[in-house]
Structure 1
Amino acid sequence: MLYRLEIENFYSIRDPQVLDLRIGKNVPDLPERFGSIFPHSEERVAKAIALFGPNGSGKSTVLRALAFVSWFIGESFQHKGPGLPCERFNDEESANRPIRLAIELGGLLDLSGAELSAEQIAASDDLGTFRYELHLQPTDGLIRTVTYEALRMKRKGQGKWQRVFERDAERKVQGSRTFPLSGFAQVVDKIREDASVVATLALFEHQASKVILQAAASVYRNILIDRTDLGDQAVIQYLAQNPPVVAALNRELQRIDLGVEEMQIVQAATGPVALFRHQGLHVDMPWGLESHGTRSFIRIFPLILLALQRGGVALIDELDQSIHPLILPEIVRWFYDPERNPYDAQLWMTCHSASLLDDLAKEEVVFCEKDSGGRSHVYSLMDVGAVRRTDNLYKKYLGGVYGAIPQVG
C-alpha cells in the first residue's frame, strides 16, 4: 500500500511537501479502514484518502504527482512530445530548479515474475517497502531531462534502503541482484534522457522491469497525463468491450439511482451506444439525456472496479462532481469491505463535499491550501494537533479550525 509522497517544484507546489500517512502504533485499529503497508507489517495506512481544500489549492496537484510517477515509470518511452507532460512552479527562481518526486509503498519484493496467489504472497518472507525517486531538470522552458532515477527497497521495511536500480545525470545505470542488467548493456546505453529505465527495458523483455511496469499499471486514474481522449465515447467503448463491468455497474445503478432499471450497450451504425431504461418511461433514454450525476458515476466506476478487483490505487479527481453527497460515503465504504476489496486497494480522491468528513477518520483526511505567493501546502489531519476521534470534523473544518478553507470577502 502507498504510504508516503514527496513533491517539490511541481505545478502549484514550489517548496518540498512530504505527506507521510503511516498511522501511529498507539492508534486503535480500525481494520476495515486501515491496512498493513504489506502483509504482517505493523505499520498501517488508510485505505481511503480524501483531499479537501479551496479551488486551486493544490488538491489535483497531489493526485497528478502520483499519476505522473505511475505514467513515467510505465509509459514514458512511448511519449513523443518535445518535453515531458508536466510543469514546474511558475516563478523565476523555479525555472531552473529540479522537479523532485518520490513515493514509498509496501509489497512483494520478488521481481522475478513468479505467479503467486494472494495466499502465497501473504505467507511470503520476501516482503517489504519500496522507494521510487525521480528528479527532472527543466531547460529552456521544457522538462525533458532525467537527472536522477532510483528504486530502492527495505526487506520487512527495516534497515537501510538497498538499491534495486539507480540512474544518474549521465544516464549511467546500476542494477542489483534483484534487477540484473547482464545482457542488456546495449539497451541501457540507449535509454533516452526523457524515458524511464523500466519503460525502456521492459520493451526488451527485461523481467524485473516487466514486473515493475505491471505494478505501475495498477494505478487507475481519471487525471490525464499523456492522453487527450478520456471522454464519454471512450467510456462507452470500454463498457462495450467488457460486459462483466456493465453487469456490475447495473447492480450499483439499481442501488443508488432508483430511476434507472438498467443500462444497455447496443451497437449502432456509428459504434456502441449507451441506453438507459427508466421506470415509467416507454422509450430507453440515450446517454446525452441521462442525468449528469449518473454519467459522472459511470465514468469513474470502471476505474474503481479495476482497483477493487485487482488491487492498486484509484486516483479520482473531483469524486463528488455531480454525485449526491449520500453516494460518496457508499463509494468509500466499498474500500472498507473485505469482500469487495480483497487486495487492500486504496482510494485517493479530491472533493469539495465537506459533509463527507462526518464519515471519515482523521487518518483519512488530507488538506491543501495556497499561500499569498501561490504556493500549495499539503498536510494530513494527523499533523494537526489535538484532534480527537470524537471531534466533529465537518463542523470544525467549516469553522476554520484546520485551515484549508476559502476566504470569502
Structure 2
Amino acid sequence: MLHRYAFSNFQSFRESTEVNLRLNRKVPQVGWDVVSVGGHRLSTVAAVIGANGSGKTALLKPVVFLAWFLKNSFHAQVDAPIPVTPHFSSPNEPTEFEVEAEGLDGQMWRYVLRLTQQRVLHEALYQQKVKGFSYVFVREWDESAQHYQVKQQDFGMAPSEARKVRPNASLISTAAQYGVEQAQMFTRIHLQTNVVANGRMPFRADRDLPAAAKHFALNQAQQTQMASLLKAWDLGLSDVQVREHTLQMPGEEPQKVWLPFGLHTDRNGRSQELSLFDESSGTQSAFVLLARLLPALADGGLVVIDEFENDLHPHMLEPILDLFANEETNPHQAQIIFTCHAMEVLNVLHKSQVMLVEKNEDCESTAWRMDSILGIRNDDNFYAKYMAGAYGAVPQF
C-alpha cells in the first residue's frame, strides 16, 4: 500500500510537495480507511481539487512516472531522454522523488531518486528495520570519475553489472532482467491509470470501449460485477454483455475484437439491445472506468485517475468511491487517488482525504492536505466554505 510520495522541481511544482495517505489517531473513522498488514492506518481514497491549470494532474504524475521507471525504464531506447520535465525556472536543476510504500507482507520500503532528463544522479532503496530504514542499495553518479558508484546490502546483483546500468534506466528495472528477486517484486507493482507523460489520455470510444470489453471478456467475475454495478447505478440497463466480432477493413486482414452491448428492458418485458457506441457518454465512461477500478479492487494496488467524474453525474461519485470503502468489494485494500471538478466530493470525504492545489503568479504550484489548514473543524461545511474561498485553491476572476 502507498503511504506517501514527495517530489520537487517537477513540471509546475518547484518546491518540495508531499501527498500523504497516512491517518493519525485524531482522524475519526471515515469509511475509506484501513489498518494495513503492517499495522498502519491509511486512507484508501484521496481527492485532488483546484482550479483549472493549477497543477492537479501534475500532482498525480510522479507516482505514475515512478511506477513506469521502476518497471519499464530498462526497455527504453538506449539514448532516450528520461521523461521528466523540471519547472521552467529551474531547467538545469535535478528533479527529486521519494516514495514510501508497504508490501503485501507488511514490510516498509523507501525509494529515493534524483535525476535529470539525461541521467540518474542518485537512486536508493531502503528497507525498514527495527531501528529505522537501512539501505538495500545506493547508486550514485560520480561526475569526476564519469561512472556510477554502487553499494549493496543483500540486493543480489553482480557489482560489475550494477555499475553498468544505463544512465536513463533504474537499477531496479535492470536488476529484474537478471532475476534479482527483490527487483522483480517492484516490477509487479499494480497500477491502473489514465495518466501518461502528457497528461490525461483523452477518451476515445473506438479504442477504449473494445479494450474494456476485451478485459471483461477475459475476466468473467469482473464482467458480472460490472454489469451488476451499471444496472444498480440507474443507467437504464438491464444487462451488459460483450461479444467477439470480426472486423474486415478494405485491403486489410480480418481482425477479431470484443465489443460491448447494453440491454434495455421496459416494464412490459420488451427488450432492446444497443451497442455501447450508441449509449450515452456517461454510460461509456462508467464502463471504461470500471475496467480500471475492478482489477485493482480484485487484486489490490493503486488507481490513479485524472478527472474522475468525467461525463458522470456528481451523484455517481459516492457509489463508485464506496467500492473502496467496503471490505467485500475491496478485500486487498486497493487505493485510489483522483482529480475532480465535482465539489460534491467535499460532502463525502474527510478533510484528511482531500488535497488542494493552487498556482501562484510565478507559475509555481503548491498543494496541501485540507486537514493542515489551521482552524478547520470536522463539523465544518467543507463544500460551502471551499466555494466561498475559505480554503483557497479556487479560480480567481
Instruction: Report the TM-score when normalising by structure 2.
Output: 0.88
2:108 is the alignment partner of 1:134:
no
Where 1:298 maps in the other structure, the secondary structure is: helix
Q: Structure 2: how far apart are the matches of 1:401 and 1:253?
A: 37
Q: Structure 2: how far apart are the matches of 1:9 and 1:258?
A: 43
Deviates more, 1:298-307 or 1:311-320: 298-307
Q: Which residue of 1 aligns with 2:212?
A: 235
1:205 positional shift:
1.3
Per-residue CA deviation, residues 249-292 of structure 1 (Å, 9 max, x unaligned), is 10111101341122222222222222221234764222321111
Sequence identity (%): 29
1:33 positional shift:
2.4
In the alignment, which of 219, 227, 231 is matched to residue 191 of structure 2?
219
Q: Which residue of 1 aligns with 2:93?
A: 97
Q: Which residue of 2 aligns with 1:162?
A: 134
Q: How many residues align?
A: 374
Q: Structure 1: how far apart are the matches of 2:381 and 2:356?
A: 16
2:71 is the alignment partner of 1:82:
no
1:340 positional shift:
1.2
**Structure 2 vs 1, CA of residues 105 and 279 (structure 1 numbering), >3 Å: closer, same or farther?**
same
2:344 is the alignment partner of 1:342:
no
**Structure 2 vs 1, CA of residues 23 and 269 (structure 1 numbering), >3 Å: closer, same or farther?**
closer
Q: Structure 2: how far apart are the matches of 1:150 and 1:311?
A: 25
Where 2:111 maps in the other structure, the secondary structure is: strand
Per-residue CA deviation, residues 307-337 of structure 1 (Å, 9 max, x unaligned), is 1111111111111111111110111111111
Q: Structure 1: how far apart are the matches of 2:15 and 2:349?
A: 28
Q: Which residue of 2 aligns with 1:407?
A: 396
What is the 5 A alignment of 1:305-344? 305-344=294-333
Q: Structure 1: how far apart are the matches of 2:82 and 2:289?
A: 26
Contact residue 71 and residue 225 of structure 1 kept, 8 A: no
Instruction: Mark the runs of 5 or more structure 2 residues left unpaired by the alignment.
Output: 142-146, 248-256
**Structure 2 vs 1, CA of residues 238 and 27 (structure 1 numbering), >3 Å: closer, same or farther?**
closer
1:172 positional shift:
2.8
Per-residue CA deviation, residues 92-149 of structure 1 (Å, 9 max, x unaligned), is xx111101111112235xxxxxxxxxxxx4xxxxx44211111112xxxxx1311111
Q: Which residue of 1 aligns with 2:376?
A: 387
CA RMSD of aligned residues (A): 2.2
What is the 5 A alignment of 1:168-179? 168-169=140-141, 170-177=147-154, 179=155
2:44 is the alignment partner of 1:47:
yes
1:245 positional shift:
2.5
Per-residue CA deviation, residues 42-68 of structure 1 (Å, 9 max, x unaligned), is x42211100110111111111111110
In the alignment, which of 144, 160, 180 is matched to residue 156 of structure 2?
180
2:277 is the alignment partner of 1:288:
yes
Q: Which residue of 1 aligns with 2:144?
A: none
In the alignment, which of 146, 150, 154 is matched to residue 120 of structure 2?
146
Contact residue 3 and residue 100 of structure 2 kept, 8 A: yes
Q: Structure 2: how far apart are the matches of 1:295 and 1:27?
A: 36
User: Partner letter of residue 26 of structure 1?
Assistant: K
User: Partner letter of residue 237 of structure 2?
Assistant: V
Instruction: Mark the runs of 5 or more structure 1 residues left unpaired by the alignment.
Output: 109-120, 122-126, 138-142
Where 1:247 maps in the other structure, the secondary structure is: helix
Contact residue 85 and residue 226 of structure 1 kept, 8 A: no
1:28 positional shift:
3.6
**Structure 2 vs 1, CA of residues 173 and 226 (structure 1 numbering), >3 Å: closer, same or farther?**
farther
User: Partner letter of residue 189 of structure 1?
Assistant: R
1:206 positional shift:
1.3
Deviates more, 1:250-259 or 1:228-237: 228-237
Q: Which residue of 1 aligns with 2:8?
A: 8
2:3 is the alignment partner of 1:24:
no
**Structure 2 vs 1, CA of residues 239 and 171 (structure 1 numbering), >3 Å: closer, same or farther?**
farther
1:366 positional shift:
0.7
